[in-house]
């Protein structure tokens, strides 16, 4: 029987091979077709991990995860790369190969097709006595959650998208877009159903939901690798927040806060957040609520830097690269980090020197954003940089601030007190003083300011700005951008030419 380690290595090979030849935007049936075997437990295991591998590849290619979520109108500026500057400036129709690839959603439909096929065919493997009904149900629940996550990612990037729930061996039918509200309603229903089946942990002998080994392995093999029940609820909270359904956000996020200990999570110290062997290293010691890891010991890392923000942000003296591709200017650092006692960046009140857990060479012309700096097996040796940080979608601190956001928006009975309590939990953990309206301003502003600090470099800045403006309507130009659909990306010309039932997002037609 092949081991999970071999399977993960195989999936990594697919990821690396696709990344190297820039062909991740391939036919959607590239890893899921009717000739796939569905006869044994080994087949279902291979196909399950394959769906995860496709998803990781979709986010990692060209570091698109941060292009979509971190750079546009964000805190980073580009040193020399014109393609990154175009994204930062919102010039999304600029002619660069990296942008052309980002405009195509076919990588996500590869995930969806593989997921659809798994849902349709995996039960055939129940003829293998090793493949139990419970094992199958948990597998399908994971795949349903991954499919919902893929659709949510697409909706945040492109708005309305084609909605497909059947697999196709070949090209997808030429159907038009579905309204994003329909797609997100489906995602919510799928995740609620999946969450009822998903365990908090995999491979735990006395787990009440999934007792015993999972695919012959215990917990240490699967920590922060597979979607858990808490991860499904974190996704539900964000799908609701994107739609402005804050009563639902409140419920879903609270579920995670009530149950995070069931997944062995805990609130990170600043050292654990920024240490090379901390939360971004490998599986993050259980604290990656939802995301994709790159484990050095499994050969899942490399020198290309795809899937690793630090390949853009690190430079001398941490690695031999003379200057980073992107950096956070000193003026922005000083604007964002306002509390002198902030452990992430602050000013020591005794000697007046900067405290720079997030930055290296703060006083240089180009400060180095070094919050994420996992090189090789948790080290920082930059002579031959092997990048291996995880892509983290959500962690406990992120979902806590989302819960604070929901309570502040709802302003329900005791809601403001709850919002302040959750905000202060994160602020105090980072050495900041507690929230003071006279000093920190409006509560909503303070919550989003804290998200900006805590989640810098984690792919949230653009989406947070969209939600913030939907709540506050403070920036007329941004509100106009939302109303006109300019918050979404243009669709790739290759997608439009392949399907005449798809029209370009209107905002970008004459841009």
Per-residue pLDDT tens digits for 122-179:
999 999 999 999 999 999 999 999 999 999 999 999 999 999 999 888 677 789 999 9
pLDDT band for position 3 (cuts 50, 70, 90): very low
Question: Of the candidates 394, 429, 450, which is a domain's last residue?
Answer: 394
Question: Of the candidates 227, 243, 259, which is a domain's last residue?
Answer: 243
Cβ-count burial 331-367 (b if 16+ within 10 Å, e if not)? ebbeebbebbebbbbbbeeeeeebbbbbbbbbeeebb
pLDDT band for position 4 (cuts 50, 70, 90): very low
Q: Is residue 500 part of a domain?
A: no
Q: Count the residues in the chain.
A: 511
Instruction: Return the DSSP state at 33.
Output: -
Q: What angle do CA 62, 232, 165 make, to 5 degrees?
A: 75
Domain range for 335: 271-394
Arithmetic mean of pLDDT over the chain:
88
Q: Is residue 496 part of a domain?
A: no
What mean pLDDT comes out for the span 408-414?
A: 78
Q: Is residue 188 part of a domain?
A: yes
pLDDT score at 303: 63
pLDDT score at 404: 97
Helix axes 396-410, 246-259, angle to 10 degrees: 140
Domain co-membership, 218 together with 350: no
Contact 360, 397 (CB under 8 A): no
Q: Is residue 299 part of a domain?
A: yes
Partners of 347 in the β-ladder: 354
Domain co-membership, 288 together with 212: no
Burial class, 451, CB count within 10 angstroms (exposed 0-12 / middle 13-18 / buried 19+)? buried
Cα-Cα-Cα-Cα dihedral of 77, 82, 85, 86, to 10°? Answer: 180
pLDDT score at 414: 57
Cα separations in angstroms, 296 against 9, 286, 374, 388: 11, 17, 10, 6
Domain co-membership, 22 together with 84: yes
Domain co-membership, 78 together with 152: yes
Domain co-membership, 100 together with 193: yes
pLDDT tens sequence across 83-106: 999 999 999 999 998 899 999 999
* Number of separate domains in the chain: 2
Residue 476 host element (H or E)? helix 476-483
Residue 22 clears pLDDT 60, i.e. is over it: no
Q: Is residue 425 part of a domain?
A: no
Question: Of the candidates 344, 374, 394, which is a domain's last residue?
Answer: 394
Domain co-membership, 215 together with 280: no
Domain co-membership, 282 together with 345: yes
Domain co-membership, 201 together with 341: no
How many CA atoms lie less than 13 Å away from 24 in the CB half-sphere? 33
CATH of the domain at 107: 1.25.40.390
pLDDT band for position 229 (cuts 50, 70, 90): very high
pLDDT score at 511: 77
Instruction: Return the DSSP state at 122.
Output: G
Q: Is residue 216 part of a domain?
A: yes
pLDDT score at 34: 54
Q: Is residue 151 part of a domain?
A: yes
- 494 Cβ partners below 8 Å, 6+ apart? 25, 100, 104
pLDDT tens sequence across 370-382: 999 988 765 555 5
Q: What angle do CA 27, 33, 35 make, to 5 degrees?
A: 140
Residue 278 clears pLDDT 50, i.e. is over it: yes
């Amino acid at each position: 029987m092949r081991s999970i380690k071999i399977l993960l290595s195989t999936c990594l090979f697919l990821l690396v091979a696709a990344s190297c030849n820039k062909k991740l935007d391939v036919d959607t049936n590239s890893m899921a077709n009717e000739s796939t075997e569905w006869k044994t437990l080994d087949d279902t295991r291979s196909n399950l991990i394959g769906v995860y591998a496709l998803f990781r590849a979709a986010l990692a290619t060209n570091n698109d995860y941060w292009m979509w979520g971190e750079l546009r109108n964000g805190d980073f500026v580009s040193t020399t790369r014109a393609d990154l500057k175009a994204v930062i400036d919102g010039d999304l129709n600029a002619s660069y190969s990296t942008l052309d690839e980002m405009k195509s959603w076919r990588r996500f439909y590869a995930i969806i097709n593989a997921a659809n096929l798994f849902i349709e065919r995996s039960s055939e493997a129940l003829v293998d006595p090793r493949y139990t009904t419970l094992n199958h149900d948990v597998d399908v629940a994971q795949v349903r959650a991954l499919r919902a996550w893929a659709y949510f990612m697409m909706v945040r990037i492109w708005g309305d998208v084609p909605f497909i729930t059947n697999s196709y061996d070949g090209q997808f039918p030429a159907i038009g877009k579905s309204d994003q509200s329909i797609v997100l309603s489906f995602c919510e229903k799928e995740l609620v159903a999946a969450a009822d089946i998903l365990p908090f942990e995999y491979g735990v002998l006395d787990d009440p939901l999934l007792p015993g080994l999972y695919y012959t392995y215990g917990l240490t093999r699967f920590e922060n690798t597979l979607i858990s029940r808490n991860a499904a609820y974190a996704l539900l909270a964000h799908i609701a927040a994107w739609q402005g359904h804050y009563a639902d956000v409140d419920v879903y996020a609270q579920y995670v806060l009530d149950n995070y200990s069931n997944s062995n999570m805990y609130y990170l110290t600043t050292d654990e957040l920024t240490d090379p062997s901390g939360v971004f290293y490998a599986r993050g010691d259980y604290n990656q609520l939802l995301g994709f890891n790159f484990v050095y010991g499994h050969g899942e890392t490399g020198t290309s830097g795809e899937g690793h923000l630090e390949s853009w942000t690190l430079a001398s003296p941490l690695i031999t690269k003379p200057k980073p591709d992107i950096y956070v200017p000193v003026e922005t650092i000083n604007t964002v980090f306002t509390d002198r006692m902030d452990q992430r960046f602050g000013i020591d009140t005794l000697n007046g020197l900067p405290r720079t857990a997030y930055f290296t060479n703060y006083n240089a012309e180009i400060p180095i954003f070094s919050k994420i700096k996992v090189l090789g097996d948790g080290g920082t040796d930059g002579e031959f940089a092997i990048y291996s940080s995880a892509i983290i979608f959500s962690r406990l601190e992120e979902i806590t601030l989302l819960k604070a956001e929901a309570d502040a928006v709802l302003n329900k009975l005791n809601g403001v007190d709850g919002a302040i309590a959750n905000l202060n939990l994160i602020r105090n953990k980072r050495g900041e003083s507690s929230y003071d309206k006279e000093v920190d301003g409006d509560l909503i502003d303070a919550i989003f300011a804290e998200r900006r600090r805590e989640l810098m470099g984690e792919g949230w800045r653009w989406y947070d700005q969209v939600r913030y403006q939907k709540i506050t309507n403070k920036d007329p130009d941004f509100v106009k951008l939302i109303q006109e659909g300019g918050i979404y990306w243009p669709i790739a010309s290759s997608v439009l030419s392949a399907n005449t039932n798809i029209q370009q997002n209107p905002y970008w037609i004459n841009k």
